[in-house]
């Protein structure tokens, strides 16, 4: 059922400030892609399932990934008392450092990354756990906060445009000075369930939004980011009988609209006119998808989980215009959805799948990665996309041809591909004499040489798998498959 309540004057104002509220995404990548936590990242993502590297990293399941510069940070869960925070080189996959801040008494949960500081929580589910900042280059300790926090394992904090950090505590939300970890202010926050306590920010009106609960009723609260004062709230009613358990954070679209997911019940949209919140529409969704995230696409559409699929909602009306194929096998269905500016929607399903769709939710490509759990697809400023799963971290690259490559009058091709014992590199005269490198999936350089006409590159002594060929003067690499 759609309940459409459109206030056109408000919407026109919101659309006019759309350009102002897009989150920063080239210097940090918080969970959700930006301060609105709406999953949109203004880069071009992978159009195929081409893998730049994959590394074996002990962990029972995937957890959220954070990227800044050439650093990739995530937690590798091995047990409830040993889950170190680890940092990898984004280009090669090499492990740079691994730190257990709990001394084998809990989990080292990263909850943010910005300005070379990794914000890490000592996660023991005590509701009063310590918050630390580590140096992203070596994992060394920078500070310990003067407040205790209580995010859930699926949650993170969020940054505003100048780097202030906001994070959930025990029935509170804190604003924290990122330079020293000291509290700036606190305000009461009462989420209904674990997984829904995160704040999302509209930078254009200096307001944060939280999803809270009073006597079983869900409320969206608007909070002044300057002083932490709660300004006003609005009820988000259930549309289906039986109740729901909100375990997903709300998000702020690039149009300033607040989108709320009530699991197994509905997605609601609200505007903020500066004096109150206004309900614009509600659209029913179905099926359990706790700890999932929605996103907004490059065209502003809202993408949400429903009934084992992803649905596309019109941002102004909430009408469902498209639906994906089912992406669940009936296990732990927890889709984490994100989007890029080349009109692609990405999702993990929490089970064993990574997916890419066009804006109409036609499947472009998919890949198998066991137990992605709560790891969505996280993007770097250069478009590299990272996902973690059981004992694996995988990075996809935006462009990785396997056959003929020609751009700016440079010609190159490899054949046969897939190959068994060798492949031939055939190039145009313009890159004769250039150096080439053959790189394995771990990022190791295993063979080098000089390009000539019909260069034969032997693979006999290398195991079956995926390799990458890079040629000086050619700004893309070839994916080579040995079978």
pLDDT of 240 over the 50 cut: yes
pLDDT category at 44 given cuts 50, 70, 90 is: confident
In SS3 terms, 219-249 reads as EEEEEECCCCCEEEEEEECCCCCCCCCCCCC
- pLDDT bin (cut points 50, 70, 90) of residue 475 is low
Q: Which among 209, 191, 224, 320 is positioned nearest to 258, based on CA atoms?
A: 209
How would DSSP label each residue in 78-131? SBTTEE-EEEEETTT--EEEEE-TTSSSEEEEEEEEETTEEEEEEE-SSS-B-E
8 A C-beta contact, residue 287 and residue 302? no
Q: What is the pLDDT of residue 403?
A: 56
Give the mean model confidence (pLDDT) for residues 446-460: 88
How high is the pLDDT of residue 243? 67
Please, which pLDDT band fits residue 410 given cuts at 50, 70 and 90? low
Residue 427: predicted pLDDT: 79
Over range 115-143, report the average pLDDT. 96
Is the pLDDT at 319 greater than 70, yes or no?
yes
Least confident of 12-16, 34-38, 151-155, 386-390: 12-16
CATH topology for 2-290 is Methylamine Dehydrogenase; Chain H (2.130.10)
Give the rounded distance of the alpha carbon of 247 from its chain centre.
Answer: 17
User: Hey, where are the domains in the chain?
Assistant: 2-290, 405-482
Which pLDDT score is estimated for 245?
73
Per-residue confidence (pLDDT) for residue 29, from 0 to 100: 59
The pLDDT score that the predictor gives to residue 402 is 52
Report the pLDDT value the prediction gives residue 18, as an integer from 0 to 100. Answer: 39
Which pLDDT score, from 0 to 100, does residue 315 have? 95
Burial status of residue 331 (CB atoms within 10 A of its CB: 0-12, 13-18, 19 or more): exposed
243 cis-preceded (ω within 30 degrees of 0):
no
pLDDT at res. 425: 87
How many angstroms separate the Cα of 115 from the Cα of each of 3, 9, 23, 119? 43, 39, 15, 11
Q: Which CATH number fits domain 405-482: 1.20.1630.10, 3.30.420.40, 1.10.287.1080, 2.60.40.1930?
A: 2.60.40.1930
CA 132 to chain centre: 22
pLDDT at 9 exceeding the cut of 60: no
Confidence at residue 10, expressed as pLDDT on a 0 to 100 scale: 38
- Determine the average pLDDT of the residues in 266-283: 97
Provide the pLDDT for residue 25: 41
Longest dimension (CA), the chain: 75
- pLDDT > 80? residue 251: yes
Average pLDDT score over the chain? 87
Average pLDDT, stretch 26-41? Answer: 77
The yes-or-no verdict on residue 412 having pLDDT over 80 is no
**What order of strands is seen across the sheet that includes strand 465-471?**
445-450, 435-440, 465-471, 478-482
Structure tokens at 240: 């289906």
Q: Is the pLDDT of residue 372 over 90?
A: yes
Percent over 70 (pLDDT), the chain = 90
Rounded Cα gap, residues 198 and 176, in angstroms: 14
Confidence label for 399 from pLDDT (cuts 50, 70 and 90): low
Average pLDDT over residues 282-290: 93
Helix (H, G, I), strand (E, B) or coil at 442: coil
- Residue with the bigger pLDDT between 68 and 478: it is 68
Cis omega (within 30 of 0) on the bond before 409? no
Question: What residue has token string 């029913």?
Answer: 284
**Is the pLDDT confidence value at 16 over 90?**
no
pLDDT at 91: 85
Running DSSP on this structure, what letter comes out for residue 205?
Answer: G
Residue predicted with more confidence, 285 or 29: 285
User: Does residue 19 have a pLDDT over 70?
Assistant: no
Residues whose CB falls within 8 Å of the CB of residue 209, separated by 6 or more in sequence, listed in order: 199, 200, 201, 202, 220, 221, 222, 223, 250, 252, 258
Residue 414 confidence (pLDDT): 83
Helix (H) or strand (E) holding 282: strand 277-284
pLDDT at 348: 96
How far, in whole angstroms, is CA 478 from its chain's centroid?
26
Across the range 344-350, mean pLDDT stands at: 96
- The reported pTM is 0.80
> What percentage of the chain reaches a pLDDT higher than 90?
64
Identify the pLDDT of residue 479.
80
């Amino acid at each position: 059922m759609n309940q459409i309540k459109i206030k056109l004057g408000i919407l026109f104002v919101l659309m006019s400030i759309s350009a102002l509220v897009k989150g920063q995404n080239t210097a940090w990548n918080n969970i959700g892609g930006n301060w609105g936590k709406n999953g949109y990242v203004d880069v071009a993502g992978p159009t195929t399932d081409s893998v730049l590297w994959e590394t074996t990293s002990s962990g029972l399941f995937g957890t959220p990934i954070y990227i800044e510069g050439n650093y990739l940070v995530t937690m590798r869960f091995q047990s409830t008392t040993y889950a170190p925070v680890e940092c990898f080189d984004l280009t090669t996959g090499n492990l740079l450092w691994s730190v257990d801040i709990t001394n084998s008494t809990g989990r080292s949960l990263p909850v943010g990354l910005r300005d070379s500081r990794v914000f890490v929580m000592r996660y023991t589910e005590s509701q009063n756990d310590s918050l630390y900042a580590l140096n992203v280059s070596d994992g060394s300790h920078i500070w310990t906060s003067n407040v205790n926090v209580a995010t859930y394992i699926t949650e993170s904090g969020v940054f505003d445009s100048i780097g202030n950090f906001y994070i959930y505590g025990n029935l509170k939300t804190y604003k924290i000075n990122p330079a020293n970890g000291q509290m700036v202010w606190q305000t009461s926050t009462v989420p209904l369930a674990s997984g829904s306590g995160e704040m999302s920010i509209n930078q254009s009106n200096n307001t944060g939004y939280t999803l809270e609960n009073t006597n079983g009723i869900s409320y969206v609260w608007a909070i002044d980011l300057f002083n932490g004062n709660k300004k006003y709230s609005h009820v988000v009613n259930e549309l289906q009988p039986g109740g729901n358990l909100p375990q997903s954070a709300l998000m702020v679209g690039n149009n300033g609209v607040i989108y709320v997911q009530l699991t197994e019940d509905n997605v609601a949209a609200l505007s903020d006119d500066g004096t109150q919140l206004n309900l614009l529409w509600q659209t029913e969704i179905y099926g359990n998808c706790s700890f999932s995230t929605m996103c907004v696409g490059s065209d502003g559409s809202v993408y949400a989980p429903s009934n084992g699929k992803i649905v596309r909602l019109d941002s102004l009306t909430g009408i469902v215009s498209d639906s994906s194929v089912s992406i669940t096998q009936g296990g732990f269905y927890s889709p984490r959805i994100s989007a890029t500016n080349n009109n692609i929607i990405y999702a993990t399903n929490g089970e064993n799948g990574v997916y890419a769709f066009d804006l109409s939710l036609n499947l472009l490509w998919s890949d198998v990665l066991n137990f992605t759990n709560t790891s969505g697809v996280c993007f770097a400023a250069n478009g590299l996309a990272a996902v973690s799963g059981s004992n694996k971290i995988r990075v996809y690259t935006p462009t990785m041809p396997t056959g003929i490559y020609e751009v700016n009058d440079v010609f190159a091709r490899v054949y046969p591909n897939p190959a068994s014992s060798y492949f031939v590199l055939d190039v145009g005269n313009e890159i004769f004499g250039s150096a080439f490198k053959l790189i394995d999936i771990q990022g190791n350089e295993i063979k080098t040489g000089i390009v000539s006409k019909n260069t034969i590159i032997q693979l006999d002594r290398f195991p079956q798998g995926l390799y990458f060929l890079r040629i000086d003067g050619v700004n893309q690499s070839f994916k080579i498959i040995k079978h």
